Amino acid sequence: MPEISRFPGITIIMYYRDHAPPHFRAIYGEFEMTVAIEGGAVTGNFPARAAALVQEWRRLHRAELLNAWSLARAGRPLARIDPLE
């Protein structure tokens, strides 16, 4: 699973050739959610505070996430995206 970012307790991954719409996955301990890059729609279960951090990070890095999605769909290496600070 290609990790594109990590910040306290949260790992962000993006699978190659995953289904549309563009999205990424966030893992926090035993919790996992899928987050749409555009709009931030969520599927899965995540603690509210951690989910809010992921959404803040998504808003800050939207363009980089869309670029990573394009690279993943093409099977190309993904660049790291800065963590939330």
pLDDT tens digits, 52-76 = 999 999 999 999 999 999 999 999 9
Question: pTM of the entire structure?
Answer: 0.93
The answer, yes or no, to whether residue 1 has pLDDT greater than 80, is: no
How confident is residue 85, by pLDDT bands cut at 50, 70 and 90?
Answer: confident
Q: Residue 17: its pLDDT value, please?
A: 80
If you average pLDDT over every residue of the chain, what do you get?
Answer: 95
Place of tokens 């050739």: 17
CA distance 10 to 4: 11
| Element housing 18 (H / E) | none
